[in-house]
Structure 1
């Protein structure tokens, strides 16, 4: 693993898991997403992992026009690295999921390194009243859906987004096997180091939020990639901050945001993404780690630069 005293904080402001009825603070409209992202950047996030939503009902959207309603404003207001999701939602086709990335040519995209059951049905247990008709069915039927990224899908994204656009990836690994899938594509020469490996823990269907699993992931990643990768890790829900802290203790980087957890403490909804960024930043600085600026993150990950994007 590559380690540095500088820690990259990624913030994922909205995602496609949580729905409007789960928190009044979840960014939905383009204005809300822009304000959330800008606030997170001002609080110390150097990378912004972004999804779009339909502003009418808050449902996940792959539409390029929905992304373009907030991307220019974020770029004008911050120097943060923009990371566009290619995971989108399990309800979207691959062409839908990569449309925005191909259109806006960002510095970074997320890339799920394999298929998995992505069950977030339990998140609906706290909701007493659903605001929109789509929400309850979307949440409850997640137990029957697979977030599908086959090896051919992964290859398409690496070629059409990575090689053709010069975009690098946040390799989202939800299980140990996903590391071996990444190693397969590295051996084939489809992606080059340094790799940003984002360990994702605590999703029902993926690897559990047990600290021993993170230590094991590092052990395997070290064996496969040596010093060619940077670690980042987070856990969904209540384990968000503890897992980020452990990642930092292991020499890695961190990710927070309302995509991953709606809470700031036990039973306490986070009122903003910036609140979560400030919380983990305080912990990191107490541990003696410095927070990477966007330009320092660009240098670490060898990104193409904000002047080479398409928005």
Structure 2
């Protein structure tokens, strides 16, 4: 008899560094907006909150620890959610900039992109003629000629300084099949130990496409490399592929990630007003499929996290 499926962890990526203010008036920009949307998402059922920071004046991505500090402690005080700080930042940030706040905050979790890659939404600029801020158009168009850098040496540095040095565990972001093999390499090198939390990502130009067959390929490859009992699988579908791929992934025993970082929409042609809109929608879908939603403390136990009281903020 097959064992019962574990509860589903809902992650919420609140603002990211990819979308710009022109693309949605609901994208959280200021520390107050990021805190409010994070707290609402946690109340709606998100066990993990994945956080970036933005310049509160113009919405541009920033690694400034002083900006992070205006909303991260507030979210911790108001929720029990696991706080997951980006180590990716944006394609325009150096490794030192990307790690500045995580090394100060020593969070329970950080994201970790498992390889260097082309990462672009430059085609979105073709649809916009009137930009709110001068930085946005060159930022989006410029992605065509930029690479997100995470070399093997970069990843090793993050694993040692944040992982070993701070007790932080990782959301291993895998945008393609090779990223799973990169993760297996670091396990073989003794730099990564389970339980693993693998965030498989579909639909970003430069990574694997949003075809359902690719989700199956990523899942079965992860099973082969790690053994299903040794990792937690999660699914991120970019843009319009969000809800369909998440539902498919959950039925296959995975966890899910929503949020305005990943998609600005709630349904076709309908912008999401808050991240919590997406959390509530995927929660309803999952519960109608008789799947149970994990609480933050259940997620901590499933992922082997150090606990809310062991962070630096």
TM-score normalised by the chain length of structure 1: 0.98
2:203 aligned with 1:191: no
Give the alignment partner of residue 303 of structure 2, picking from 298, 301, 304.
Answer: 301
Query: Which runs of structure 2 are paired with 1:10-29 in the superposition (5 Å)?
Result: 10-29=11-30
Structure 1 residue runs of 4 or more that deviate by more than 6 Å after TM superposition: none
- Match for residue 123 of structure 2? 122
Q: How many residues are matched? A: 310
Does the aligned pair in 2 maintain the 1:3–1:252 contact within 8 Å?
Answer: no
**1:5, CA displacement in angstroms?**
2.9
Point out the more displaced range, 251-260 or 127-136.
127-136
Query: Which runs of structure 2 are paired with 1:1-311 in the superposition (5 Å)?
Result: 4-226=5-227, 227-311=229-313
**1:124, CA displacement in angstroms?**
2.4
**1:3, CA displacement in angstroms?**
7.8
The one-character-per-residue Cα deviations of 1:231-289 (angstroms, maximum 9, x if unpaired) are 00111110011111011010000000000000001111111100000000000001111
Q: Distance in 1 between matches of 2:85 and 2:11?
A: 12
Q: Which runs of 5+ in 2 are unaligned?
A: none
1:80 and 1:3, CA in 2 relative to 1: closer, same or farther beyond 3 A? farther
Q: Distance in 1 between matches of 2:284 and 2:124?
A: 28
Q: Distance in 2 between matches of 1:27 and 1:166?
A: 29
RMSD: 1.0
**1:4, CA displacement in angstroms?**
3.7
Does the aligned pair in 2 maintain the 1:196–1:231 contact within 8 Å?
Answer: yes
SS at 1:218's partner residue? helix
Q: Which runs of 5+ in 1 are unaligned?
A: none
